[in-house]
Amino acid sequence: MIVLVQATVLTVGLDGQNKALEELPIQLVTMQSGVEAARSFKNKDVDSVISKWDLDDMADGLFLRRLKTIKPDIPTIAIVKSGDWAQEIAARSLGVSAVISDDADDDFFRETVANLLGLAETVSIRAISGSPSDRFGTRKATL
């Protein structure tokens, strides 16, 4: 089976929200801390970043602030606390590509990521095979 990955997306501090992105033709690199994510740029080629505004080790958008200083053109999505207008204003002022509240549903989250990466017209399917090449989980293909 052919796997067509169209983008590598780094997610930071998202926990279970990554499941909403499984149907997209992307490779997810998942980190929990800002420090760990920052280090990953040394050995990973990343096309886009999705990060919570407040991380355990980097509060007040510090990770995204540092990222936008070093890589101002990288597409980024900030996940802000629902109803926290100060976080949303700060994220938008920083120049992130999109802002999503942490209570957004999976469909809206997936649609926002697909639009940001130019995948809105891509049809993705999940194919499950019993072949040896599929031992490591579900493979994705696009039509």
pLDDT tens per residue across span 89-140: 999 999 999 999 999 999 999 999 999 888 876 555 443 333 344 434 444 4
Q: Is residue 23 part of a domain?
A: yes
Is 4 a residue whose pLDDT tops 70? Answer: no
Q: Is 13 exposed, middle or buried (0-12, 13-18, 19+ CB in 10 A)?
A: buried
CATH code of 27's domain: 3.40.50.2300
Under DSSP, is residue 94 helix (H, G, I), strand (E, B) or coil?
A: helix
What residues make up the domain containing 29?
7-142
Q: Is residue 2 part of a domain?
A: no
Would you say residue 1 lies in a domain?
Answer: no
When divided into structural domains, the chain yields a total of 1
Residue 129 is assigned to a structural domain of this protein: yes
Q: How far is CA 115 from CA 5, 63, 110, in A?
A: 16, 23, 9
- CA gap 13, 121 in Å, rounded: 28
Regarding pTM above 0.85, the answer is no
Q: What pLDDT digit, counting tens, does each position of 17-73 carry?
A: 888 888 888 889 999 999 999 998 888 899 999 999 999 999 999 999 999 999 999
Tokens of 41: 């740029």
pLDDT of res. 122: 58
Backbone φ and ψ of 8, nearest 5°: -110, 125
- Provide the pLDDT for residue 48: 94
